Structure 1
Amino acid sequence: MRKSFLIASLFFISHAVSAQAVLKDLLTENLKNPICIDVRAPRFSWQLSEKDNKPVMQQAYEVQVDSVAFTGNNTNSLWSSGKIKSDQSVYIPYLGKPLLSGHRYFWRVRIWDIKGTCSGWSEQAFWKMGLISSSDWHAQWVGAASNDTVNAPAPLLRTNFILNKKVREATAYITAHGFYEAQLNGHKIGDAFLTPGWTSYNKRLQYQAYDVTALLAEGENAVGVTLGSGWYRSPLGPYNPRANFYGDRTALLMEIRITYTDGSEKIISTDRSWKSSTGALQFAEIYNGCIIDTRLEKSGWAKPDFDDHDWHAVRIMPYAKNTLIATYNEPVKQHEVFKPLKIITTPHGEKVIDFGQNLVGWVKVTLKGHRGDSVKIAHAEVLDKAGEFYTENLRAAKAENIYILKDTAKRTFEPQFSWQGFRYIKVSGIKGPLNPEDFTAVAIYSDMKATGSFSCSNPLLNQLQHNIQWGQKGNFLDVPTDCPQRDERLGWTGDAQVFSRTAAFNMDVHNFFSKWLKDVAADQYASGSIPYVIPDVFTNGNNEVGGSSGWGDVATIIPWNMYYAYGDKKILENQFQSMKAWVNYIQKQTRNGLWVTGNHFGDWLFYSVNNDRDGTSAITNKYLIAQCFYAYSTQILINSAKVLNKKAEEEYYTKLLLKIKQAFVNEYVTANGLISSDTQTAYVLALEFDMLPVKLRKQAAARLVKNIGLYQDHLTTGFLGTPYLCDALSKFGYADVAYKLLLQDTYPSWLYPIKQGATTIWERWDGIKTDGSFEESSMNSYNHYAYGAIGDWMYRYIAGITPAAPGYKKIIIKPVIGGGLSWAEGKYDCPYGNISTKWEITGKKLNMTVTIPQNTTADIFVPDFEGKNYKKYTIGAGTYHYSR
């Protein structure tokens, strides 16, 4: 142990020195200076830092809020918390006077450390209230005058307006039934795509706010908006897609609130004066792509000098405003770009481009030709073993974009209101060889902050981490989708819940999941059952298609995982009634305390063989699984009741849990501890969810290890067993076996797809078989993040980063050495700041470096070079070096 650690540790223990704290990263409702908040009591968060690398622990804080910017040490404010004795620096609520729609507010904070030293005021932050109630909207819903159907050209809506004074500030508020893309004076408003996002539209419709001050000019102005079918009315769902699920006509609701420099105001809003027409976008749909015919475009249609005399008046649409809500989750934006890795001519003579990465988004293409030339771009994830372009696994989705030229000018095209999941594209309609410079693949996903990274000495594990992250990027597209390429792309609940802890390591998914969970509650059936997909496009509430264990448990598992990752009790408060309704639903389905009714997916896509004469298919009884998840959801409900101080619920469900577990033992466990389904998943869930008496747990772990050995150190688990497999092994002293499974590179394993060239996580362990053939095309996605849930184990056990208290207020650092790794490194940006660990073995010596953020504490467990004999140290913030 180095001297630097001794000094820092002694400082933390004695508090002998007081460092000067600096406050940074001020957030309002987890957003930086947001301009559209409709929460009437927004919450404030901040981080601490200091210049001398010494621990700072907050003892008290004071928050001030005002309607004008703070100047100097001015203490006059709209609201002051006063000096509050608390070490909390996240989610501090505003408790002042009612806030006004459309008004801007400023806030700042100062803290006192444990020696009573005041930090001084932080830099100020601000937020702006959105349109709090439906009556605050001046705009009317408007739609196209012409025929407006899924297969018709996209409506264009526009209006001109005059500004006769200099503008100080302007905010545009926009939403739509369907997708929208808005322009002011010919410039795109914002950099988001697929707006207004996907929610349960009939109950919750998001609107977005944009600062458009810089896009306005004194004098003539014009605003133009293109509408698309989007999730609102595109045919959705596999096998029997339903069009017009939420409605059959697109519509726009928009207003621009302008404040002049003299303080006067003006509002431009959708009304009868707007006009409509159509243009180049002739077709746009989620699964099938789009058709852009530039012969039909109306150049400059969103500029003030455009002549719209032959356009038609819009229709006023009878749509409600009482479902409107502000947007808190991050919008979908463009991110990484890829140039062609290689250009291929297939055996059938087709022109194919390989971008080297399975991604979600679209391809920008530069074209030059003659009027009427048509270029088609089709998309695929893989080539078959003969090297041909393979699209059978897309099922009914065409996933192709068509561009029709109007002249010989060189132009760059990209699709609108559609996207694809792909690594390869097939290009037809271009004569001669393809020029790689003309093609760029663009990745799109929700603009979540990257918070975690993991790397180690094993290149295959680094590729696994890469694949996990890209699986998340491709499928976190406003909702957590199951896959991004075929005729599905739905918010399957089971996939989301098994991956949620890993997701929270890789990216800040706080707002992403908070938004989606509200739709879980909104679409929950009156019985308490949870639909298979959220938003629910299978039933529209008319009949119940849901209630599967492991899928419906999304109602409890993700809220708890998000609370523990971010320390935000509001998530539990928002979801508690939904959580309770789900557990109560299960209880009503039980017979003698056992959940032995209903339809369940079970351990989806577990290891199975076609000819099971020797019984090697790892079939786990679906009702056994259901009982385990029943217990787990009940335990989470108990934990949540404790956090929220709901004593009656805590007592009731604690008694219920005892009955659930006893019923499990009575039904599924022999006196000697054999579980009736002698599978890895059965033992994993029984151990992970504490279903067994203490005296039977050790032998159950041994049976699990024996089972793994029977499969020559291969896993056999599916969607529900896999996320907990390595965790259960590690908890019961078999981390070496967990490492064996992680590093296994033959089917079935995490590394097998990587050996087959995967750049994302596959839906099936053997999506491409050893002979190069494919699994059944009806369900074989090559970008399906569920099995990427192993990422959570890699962060917590290899890198050793674990929250010991919600939101990482207290941290445990305890890496597990093994797998032949000579070094590993993990980083995670928690609500209090950056946590990082790195350990390295050199000869017979282990060196370890740890960074802990301010206003937190940590227990550090340092192993020797063999991964044994941990030494524990309790520390505060700082960077520490250890050698053993």
Structure 2
Amino acid sequence: MTVTWRARMVTPAVDLTAPLFRREVELDPGHGAVASAWLHLSSLGVHEAFVDGRPVGEDVLSPGWSAYEWRLRYRSHDVTGMLRERSVLTVSVGNGWWRGRLGFHGGASVYGDRLGLIAQLEVEFADGHRQTVLTDRSWRAGPSDVLADDLYDGQTIDAGRRTDAWTKVGAHPASFFPVEELDFDTATLGPYLGPPVVRQEALRPQRIWTSPTGRTLVDFGQNLVGWTRCRVRGPRGTEIRVRHAEVLEDGELGTRPLRTAQATDRFVLSGGEDAFEPTKTFHGFRYVEVTGWPGDLTDDAIEAVVVHSDLPRTGIFACSDDLLDRLHQNIVWGTRGNVLDLPTDCPQRDERLGWTGDIAVFASTAAFLFDVEGFLGDWLVDLDLEQRHADGVVPVVVPDPLKYQPFPEGLPEPDTTAIWSDAAVWVPWALYQAYGDRALLERQYGSMCAHVRRAEALLSPAGIWDSGFQLGDWLDPDAPPDQPWLAKADKAVVATACLYRTASIMEATAELLGRHGDAAGFRALAARVHRGFRTELVSDDGTIRSDCTTVYTLALVFGLLDGALEELAGSRLAALVAANGYRVSTGFAGTPYVCDALARTGHVDAAYALLTERECPSWLYPVTMGATTVWERWDSMLPDGSINPGEMTSFNHYALGAVADWMHRTVAGVAPAEPGYAAVRFAPRPGGGLTWAAASIDTRHGTVGIRWDVVDGRLQVETRLPDGVPGVLSLPDGTEHPVESGTRTTTW
């Protein structure tokens, strides 16, 4: 909904923690019933809005986090049925991403030190009369029951400070103060393109017990993102402390991976029956430590509320291997935990940033599991804005608060970098393949081109990318724990291969959009990079520089080899994987693609052996250790139950879960043959001892599904296609057969 803004951004005249903004509204008389009423609002900070004390919507943590310098989103709420002849409009505003701590150094007020509210209530009556109520100096602001709030550190709520006076018509809360108008450009306001953040579900405790040191611990059975909600009665002034963590260590809460994030909520009792829900923070946790609870904590007094962007679930996978099933569930939960308004790396420590590299490799997986078209499309707007104001450089995080802070010690200042900056091209292309909408490519085309131009300028005369800032095959399991960028894979190989993929995607995008001149330029760039890769990085015997799993993986999957070289690379890759005992030897660059590289060169059995390996490092090792999400490191928890000693150790990262894309396309065997599943390719490749696998996805054309079973040594495949959607079934023997719409069964 487009809004013509006449309201002003207002802020309390005195500095307040999580202030309440208040305005009484009296409807203009004599115009009949209210035909429609819309409340449009945004804030510097995160807000919740109420009419007469009732929430106007289900969203929380709005307006989320965008590139605030150039874009602030607003929400529009239909409040037609909520307005009375006289009503009280109230909005609470917390620090959120605007004024709270952000980044590695934990600095607060990155964007500004004044909280603000802009709101516009537009009422239309039965006779056509319009009334508008705007934020201006007529509003008042006062303290709330929130004493402190921060996304990293938690929220403190004092129930003894609660009053309903702010919801009552005619009341004049003594503690409310005037507001001031801020200098604010309403041209930066824009509507959400993606969904709001909402509460998804509530989980009850699976266990409550006393730790070895006498602390009360609660296990909710699932690593999740959100907060706890509780009801309690106790003496006035009693403080309950709820501390959050993802894991236990030595029987106690394992908080070291949180670094400086306190992740602690505090609730001060009023002396009566109190309910607490800290909606101006969020935590990544499975366990909580509860201190100060009056009496015994029971499982009906506390629950965990799961919170993230409201993304419809679209894709389902299941198979006969319980561990693979659990791995896939972990990937789903890892996605849920890192789609709270933007695609983040992790949801728990003092970081929670929109790392571009993570989503660059995970976008296809995300687009199968959930409808992320609007969610990632919204984020790409911010990527474009950050890039435009950084001379074409796509930053490693979007939005980018790191530009205001020193980069971590030991790393050079970031510039255009392979994979991370490639998100400008790879993410739009993944969304186009998943949903088939060219409009997104049109909108992002300038950003995509700007990235390629920037990367092209960094090429050597020989046509390889061998200079500048690179994170490379980040978190290679053989890299030193404190230097995750020191991977086995040569950074020039990784960067050059990634640029070839990017240039190839850009050629296809330009052709698709009718920009044939541009397409020719991208084709020439791809050819130049291809020549450079082959002449500078591949020896005559087919050995790729640094001779490790990741370099062969990228060369094969990105199409840099053919004929005899492709066969040699496939054999060398399979040999390396076998020599490592089918344990994972790749980092962020190679892990999403290694099973694909093996399968497409005739080594499906090796791909399955890699996928189903249980020894660390492997995808299933964390599952055997009780993980319920995907870890950042293969050994985030060591076999003895202790936490990895490295400083960077998260138990909820989705990037390494990008293998689910291969599970969907190859293990189950379903993929788009044309963008948006306008045509479908079924290509199951059974292996790994599986006796059946199944997957389905709700597409723009309807539900597409497949299930295969091995019955008496024969492969039986059941396919499902919507009307009008053609399909092809590729069998393991290499034969292909057309598939008609409806549900069909084939036995081979």
TM-score (norm 2): 0.96
The superposition leaves residues 702-756 of structure 1 with CA deviations (integer Å, 9 ceiling, x where unpaired) of 0000001111122200011000111111111111111111111111110000000
Distance 2:406 2:227 in 1: 36
Q: Which residue of 2 aligns with 1:745?
A: 614
The superposition leaves residues 674-710 of structure 1 with CA deviations (integer Å, 9 ceiling, x where unpaired) of 1121110010011111223433111100000000111
Q: Report matched runs for 1:234-249 at 5 Å.
A: 234-238=100-104, 240-249=105-114
Asked if residue 559 in structure 1 is aligned to residue 428 in structure 2, the reply is yes
Distance 1:589 1:541 in 2: 25
Q: Report matched runs for 1:597-612 at 5 Å.
A: 597-608=467-478
- Given that 2:665 and 2:684 are in contact with CA atoms closer than 8 Å, whether structure 1 keeps it comes out as yes
SS in 1 for 2:119: strand
Distance 1:195 1:494 in 2: 25
Asked if residue 231 in structure 1 is aligned to residue 231 in structure 2, the reply is no
- Given that 2:143 and 2:175 are in contact with CA atoms closer than 8 Å, whether structure 1 keeps it comes out as no
- Given that 1:539 and 1:545 are in contact with CA atoms closer than 8 Å, whether structure 2 keeps it comes out as no
The superposition leaves residues 416-461 of structure 1 with CA deviations (integer Å, 9 ceiling, x where unpaired) of 2101000000000114432111011010011011000000111111
Q: Which residue of 2 aligns with 1:596?
A: 466
Distance 1:618 1:538 in 2: 24
Q: Report matched runs for 1:644-683 at 5 Å.
A: 644-683=513-552
Offset of 1:205 from its aligned partner? 1.0
State which of 664, 678, 681 in structure 2 corresponds to 1:795: 664
- Given that 1:838 and 1:848 are in contact with CA atoms closer than 8 Å, whether structure 2 keeps it comes out as yes
Offset of 1:309 from its aligned partner? 5.4
Q: Which residue of 2 aligns with 1:491?
A: 354
The range that moved more, 755-764 or 280-289, is 280-289
SS in 2 for 1:477: coil
Q: Report matched runs for 1:191-590 at 5 Å.
A: 191-217=58-84, 219-238=85-104, 240-308=105-173, 311-384=176-249, 386-407=250-271, 409-524=272-387, 525-539=389-403, 545-590=414-459
SS in 1 for 2:190: strand
Look up the equivalent residue of 2:11 and give its one-letter code: G
Offset of 1:870 from its aligned partner? 5.2
Aligned CA distance change for structure 1 residues 181 and 618 (closer, same or farther; 3 Å): closer
State which of 35, 38, 61 in structure 2 corresponds to 1:168: 35
Distance 2:735 2:564 in 1: 29
Q: Which residue of 2 aligns with 1:734?
A: 603
The superposition leaves residues 282-302 of structure 1 with CA deviations (integer Å, 9 ceiling, x where unpaired) of 111110001111222232413
Asked if residue 724 in structure 1 is aligned to residue 584 in structure 2, the reply is no
Look up the equivalent residue of 2:539 and give its one-letter code: T
Q: Which residue of 2 aligns with 1:66?
A: none
Asked if residue 873 in structure 1 is aligned to residue 737 in structure 2, the reply is yes
The superposition leaves residues 157-199 of structure 1 with CA deviations (integer Å, 9 ceiling, x where unpaired) of 1011112342121111111111111100110110001101211
Distance 1:315 1:777 in 2: 47
Look up the equivalent residue of 1:844 and give its one-letter code: G
State which of 10, 13, 18 in structure 2 corresponds to 1:154: 18
SS in 1 for 2:186: coil
Distance 2:119 2:207 in 1: 45
Distance 2:459 2:177 in 1: 60
SS in 2 for 1:252: strand
- Given that 2:159 and 2:274 are in contact with CA atoms closer than 8 Å, whether structure 1 keeps it comes out as no
- Given that 2:474 and 2:487 are in contact with CA atoms closer than 8 Å, whether structure 1 keeps it comes out as no
- Given that 1:280 and 1:293 are in contact with CA atoms closer than 8 Å, whether structure 2 keeps it comes out as yes
Offset of 1:787 from its aligned partner? 0.6
- Given that 2:165 and 2:172 are in contact with CA atoms closer than 8 Å, whether structure 1 keeps it comes out as no
Offset of 1:871 from its aligned partner? 4.7
Distance 2:291 2:553 in 1: 50
Distance 1:620 1:300 in 2: 64
Distance 1:635 1:870 in 2: 26
Offset of 1:584 from its aligned partner? 1.1
SS in 2 for 1:479: coil
Which sections of structure 2, spanning at least 5 residues, go unmatched? 408-412
- Given that 1:378 and 1:400 are in contact with CA atoms closer than 8 Å, whether structure 2 keeps it comes out as yes
The range that moved more, 571-580 or 534-543, is 534-543
Which sections of structure 1, spanning at least 5 residues, go unmatched? 1-35, 37-129, 612-616
Distance 1:526 1:600 in 2: 17
Offset of 1:780 from its aligned partner? 0.4
- Given that 2:706 and 2:717 are in contact with CA atoms closer than 8 Å, whether structure 1 keeps it comes out as yes
Distance 2:142 2:165 in 1: 13
Aligned CA distance change for structure 1 residues 351 and 309 (closer, same or farther; 3 Å): closer
Offset of 1:881 from its aligned partner? 2.0
Asked if residue 715 in structure 1 is aligned to residue 584 in structure 2, the reply is yes
Look up the equivalent residue of 2:714 and give its one-letter code: K
Q: Which residue of 2 aligns with 1:123?
A: none
Distance 2:132 2:740 in 1: 53
- Given that 1:157 and 1:226 are in contact with CA atoms closer than 8 Å, whether structure 2 keeps it comes out as yes
Look up the equivalent residue of 2:332 and give its one-letter code: Q
SS in 2 for 1:213: coil
- Given that 2:475 and 2:487 are in contact with CA atoms closer than 8 Å, whether structure 1 keeps it comes out as no
SS in 2 for 1:154: coil
SS in 2 for 1:291: strand
- Given that 2:313 and 2:369 are in contact with CA atoms closer than 8 Å, whether structure 1 keeps it comes out as yes
Distance 2:190 2:5 in 1: 12
Distance 1:669 1:846 in 2: 40
Offset of 1:671 from its aligned partner? 0.4
- Given that 1:186 and 1:300 are in contact with CA atoms closer than 8 Å, whether structure 2 keeps it comes out as no
Aligned CA distance change for structure 1 residues 515 and 651 (closer, same or farther; 3 Å): same
Aligned CA distance change for structure 1 residues 320 and 818 (closer, same or farther; 3 Å): same
Q: Which residue of 2 aligns with 1:124?
A: none
The superposition leaves residues 547-567 of structure 1 with CA deviations (integer Å, 9 ceiling, x where unpaired) of 221111111111111111111
- Given that 2:472 and 2:487 are in contact with CA atoms closer than 8 Å, whether structure 1 keeps it comes out as no
Q: Report matched runs for 1:30-49 at 5 Å.
A: 36=1
The superposition leaves residues 805-855 of structure 1 with CA deviations (integer Å, 9 ceiling, x where unpaired) of 111111111111111111111010111110011111221333322111123
Aligned residue-pair number: 734
Asked if residue 828 in structure 1 is aligned to residue 694 in structure 2, the reply is no
Asked if residue 628 in structure 1 is aligned to residue 497 in structure 2, the reply is yes
TM-score (norm 1): 0.81
Offset of 1:271 from its aligned partner? 1.4
Look up the equivalent residue of 1:245 and give its one-letter code: V
The superposition leaves residues 97-117 of structure 1 with CA deviations (integer Å, 9 ceiling, x where unpaired) of xxxxxxxxxxxxxxxxxxxxx
Q: Which residue of 1 aligns with 2:48?
A: 181
Q: Which residue of 2 aligns with 1:848?
A: 717
Look up the equivalent residue of 1:578 and give its one-letter code: S
